[in-house]
Amino acid sequence: MGTDNISSVMVIFGGTGDLTHRKLMPAVYNLLYDKSLPENFCVVSVGRRDKTDEIYRNEVYESIKKFSRIKIDDELWKNLRDRIYYQKFEFNDDYGYSKLKDFLRMLDDKYQTNGNRIYYLAVAPEYFELIVEKLHQHGMAENEKSWQRVMIEKPFGKDLNSAVYLNKKITDVFTEKNTYRIDHYLGKEMLQNIMVIRFANVFFEPVWNNKYIDNVQISSSEMVGVENRGGYYEKAGALRDMIQNHMLQLLTLTAMEPPIDLTTDSIHDEKVKVLKSLKELTPDLVLKNAVRGQYEGYRNEDRVSPDSDTETFAALKVFVDNFRWAGVPFYIRTGKKLPVKSTEIVIQFKPLPGVLYFKEYGGLMPDLLVIKIQPEEGVFLQFNAKRPGTLNKVIPVRMDFCQNCQVGMNSPEAYERLIYDALRGDSTLFTRWDEVEYSWRYVDKIAEVWKNNKPEFPNYKPGTWGPYDADELLLRDNFKWWNIGGFYDENV
């Protein structure tokens, strides 16, 4: 990876927070290891707690040691260590910004960073607007001779109205081109691979349509509950936390048309078309095709209301109403306290005419293509073959390509790719505003109906696949959820 023209200072607001320690600093270190960090680069972290550069650097060292995918090398660390700085101030403190501004100018001279900035907002969403406004007031967000970019963590709004408002506030200061809305799933290797698998292989793209595909299942399951994020989760729920962003992104990549080229806008244009083609949701359809659940025990979690109606599970049946996909259901599900941690896309192909291999052959299983996003990364193809022996049985067999099982394959973390791309000014793996807008439009319709209909919660036991209604959603169509996370055997 080249590192030309990306000299810059990365300013992390929320530099003492969990995200910075667990993901951002290890990502910066791994970029250094991969020789993908510019020579002229340094990091300034902003937090509220009182600490010196030295103390902060030691804490960062411990975090990298704990969370980095590449073991920390003390020689290499020295190279980064002295380029990390800490500044303490409250986000509403004008004096703090003017001090920071002077400090950044000094760093420009020291590291030849030309005034280029990445402002990473690793903070709670209520601070996004304030920080951007302060950067503007202090003349830190625009400079004709250099570039200033803002990276914003999710959630981007809590509904369409708040997202529109936030977007206006941000784009009044930073242009769309300099606004990097993070959906960290897009930084994952296998998400980037979906387009390659689809558009670089002759045997997938010709059958990628309603003539050959019966249904598509997109699942993202977690084994953990809300842990210490109850306060945030109460206001979000599975719909806002997962479906509006990650799950709909997975859907767009699975369903999009080939872009005319690989430029950022061409790819985003095709993704937006998918969101625009989602079949309009009426309240009746929401009641029929959207299932929510809450695990037993959620209401006892820390900072969760004892009569909470927040969903920890959501399953949807969605139609992409365009020429390629008309009539093919896309089933989406996500939840906490499910049996495995896994994110996968299962493509179920249509059965062949049942004129040759009937029951006496053991019946025919549908062909499946499974794209494994995490924790295992790869592609899994299940198809029918003759069972060896004298009995003419047909059995499903598998071809399994596991990308991260191979020795030496250690996929970069999503945040490495995202920081690297933001440094280069490539926003392909970030969400363009209209993607955010159309996904909120869709999700808001569901949220509205759910708000007006009280659920019977809790309705699933931890360690199960959510409420029965989620199974029923597919049984009605004579389908069933394929087990994910490597447990395909139960289905064959």
Ligand X SMILES: NC(=O)c1ccc[n+]([C@@H]2O[C@H](COP(=O)([O-])OP(=O)(O)OC[C@H]3O[C@@H](n4cnc5c(N)ncnc54)[C@H](OP(=O)(O)O)[C@@H]3O)[C@@H](O)[C@H]2O)c1
Task: Enumerate the known binding-site residues for substrate.
Answer: 184, 188, 222, 241, 336, 341
- Per the CB < 8 A criterion, the answer to whether 369 and 208 are in contact is no
Return d(Cα 237, Cα 260) in angstroms, integer. 37
Sign, CA torsion 119/124/126/127? negative
State in angstroms the smallest separation of the CB of 22 from ligand X.
6
Which pair of tokens denotes residue 95?
């004096």
Contact indicator for 445, 275 with CB cutoff of 8 Å: no
Q: Name the minimum Å distance from CB 284 to ligand X.
A: 33
Q: Which is nearer to ligand X, 430 or 460 (CB)?
A: 430
Binding mask 4-43 for ligand X (x = CB under 6 A): ----------xxxxxx--x---------------------
Which residues carry a binding-site annotation for NADP(+)?
48, 90-91, 154
CB of 260 to ligand X, least distance (A): 33
Catalytic site residue from 21, 138, 246, 268: 246
For residue 400, the number of C-alpha atoms closer than 13 Å in the C-beta half-sphere is: 12
* Amino acid letter, 157: G
Using rule CB under 6 A, residue 381 touches ligand X: no
Closest CA relative to residue 465, chosen from 340, 373, 381: 340
Cα Dmax for the chain = 84
Nearest-approach distance from CB 186 to ligand X, in angstroms: 13
335 binds ligand X, rule: CB under 6 A: no
One of 26, 38, 47, 396 touching ligand X (CB under 6 A): 47
Q: Considering beta carbons, is residue 347 or 429 the nearer one to ligand X? A: 429
Q: Which of 90, 227, 302, 321 binds ligand X (CB under 6 A)?
A: 90
Annotated binding site: 48, 90-91, 154, 184, 188, 222, 241, 336, 341
Please name the residue that has the structure tokens 């290797």: 189
Q: Which amino acid is at 412?
A: P
- Least separation, in Å, of the C-beta of 462 and ligand X? 22
Site string for ligand X, 138-157 (x = CB under 6 A): ---------------xx---
* List 122, 248, 423, 473, residue binding ligand X (CB under 6 A): 122
Q: Nearest residue to ligand X, using CB?
A: 17
Q: What is the DSSP string of 290-345?
A: EEEE-BTTGGGSTT--TT----SEEEEEEEB-STTTTT-EEEEEEESS-SS-EEEE
| Residue closer to ligand X, measured from CB, 83 or 134 | 134
CB of 182 to ligand X, least distance (A): 8
Tokens representing 431 are: 């969400």
User: Residue 106 in contact with residue 37, Cβ under 8 Å?
Assistant: no
Task: Supply the minimum distance, in Å, between the C-beta of residue 19 and ligand X.
Answer: 3
97: which 2 tokens?
Answer: 């910004």
Q: Are 34 and 78 in contact (CB under 8 A)?
A: no
Calpha distance 436→428 (Å, rounded): 14
Residue 254, classed as helix, strand or coil, is: helix
Decide if residue 303 touches ligand X (CB under 6 A): no
Q: Is 187 in the site for ligand X (CB under 6 A)?
A: no
What would the two tokens of residue 99 be? Answer: 């001090």
For the question of residue 246 being annotated catalytic, the response is yes
Interface residue with ligand X among 5, 49, 235, 487 (CB under 6 A) is 49
Q: Which of 123, 150, 290, 315 binds ligand X (CB under 6 A)?
A: 123
State which residue, 170 or 213, has the beta carbon closest to ligand X.
170
What count of other Cβ atoms lies within 10 Å of the Cβ of residue 257?
14
Tokens of 113: 């960073």
Which CB atom, from 125 or from 366, has the smaller least distance to ligand X? Answer: 125
Position 308, amino acid: S
- How many residues belong to the chain? 492
- The residue (of 56 and 174) whose beta carbon lies closer to ligand X is 56
Interacting residue with ligand X among 29, 91, 420, 440 (CB under 6 A): 91
User: Which residues contact ligand X (rule: CB under 6 A)?
Assistant: 14-19, 22, 47-49, 90-91, 122-125, 153-154
Residue positions annotated with a catalytic role:
246
